[in-house]
Amino acid sequence: MSETWARYNCLDSVTDIKIWNEIEPDLDKQGYRNLYEDTMSLYPSILFMQTVGLKVDHDALGFEKVRIEDQMEIAEHELYTLCGFNLNPNSPKQCQQYFYGVLGHQPYLGAKGTITTDEKAMARLSRKGVKEAKYVITLRTLRKLLGTYIEVATDQDGRIRSSFNPRGTSTGRLSSSQSIFGTGLNFQNLHPQFKAFIVADSNRFFISMDKAQAEWVIIAYLCNDPKMIFAIENKEDIHAFTASAMTRIPTDDIQEEYKIVGKHTDRDLILQLRSKHLPHILDYDYAFLPASMSIRQMGKKSNFGLSYMEGYWRFALENEIPESEAKLYVNG
Q: What is the pLDDT of residues 282-301, one digit of tens each?
A: 777 777 788 888 999 999 98
Identify the three-state secondary structure at position 193. Answer: helix
| Shared-domain flag, residues 59 and 200 | yes
Band of the pLDDT at 1, cuts 50, 70, 90? low
Nearest to 294 by CA among 326, 315, 263: 263
The residues pairing with 199 across neighbouring beta strands, listed in sequence order, are 55
| 153 and 64 belong to one structural domain | yes
Same domain, 204 and 218: no
- CATH code of 144's domain: 1.20.1060.10
Residue 47 counted as domain residue: no
Average pLDDT over residues 185-201: 87
My answer on whether 150 and 81 are in the same domain is yes
Q: CA gyration radius for the chain?
A: 25
Q: 155 burial class (0-12, 13-18, 19+ CB within 10 angstroms)? A: middle
278 within some domain:
yes
How far apart are alpha carbons 241 and 231 in whole angstroms? Answer: 7
Instruction: Report the length, in residues, of the chain.
Output: 332
Has residue 111 been placed in a domain? yes
Asked if 315 contacts 303 with a C-beta cutoff of 8 angstroms, the reply is no
Structural domain span for residue 133? 54-209
As a whole number of angstroms, the distance between CA 192 and CA 176 comes to: 17
Q: Are residues 171 and 263 in the same domain?
A: no
**Do 30 and 130 belong together in one domain?**
no
Is 263 part of any domain? Answer: yes
* Phi, psi of 164, deg, nearest 5: -105, 140
Domain count, the chain: 3
Q: What are residue 191's phi and psi, to 5 degrees?
A: -65, 135
Predicted TM-score (pTM) of the model is 0.61
Residue 163 CA from chain centroid, whole number: 20
Are 36 and 93 in the same domain? no
Indicate if 293 and 237 belong to the same structural domain: yes
Buried/exposed code over 5-16 (b: 16+ C-beta within 10 A; e: otherwise): eeeeeeeeeeee
pLDDT in tens, 8-53: 889 988 999 999 999 999 999 999 999 899 999 999 999 999 999 9
pLDDT at 211 over 80: no
User: Does the pLDDT value for residue 246 go beyond 90?
Assistant: no
Structure confidence at residue 171 (pLDDT) = 65
Does the pLDDT value for residue 109 go beyond 90? no
Is the pLDDT higher at 172 or at 326? 326
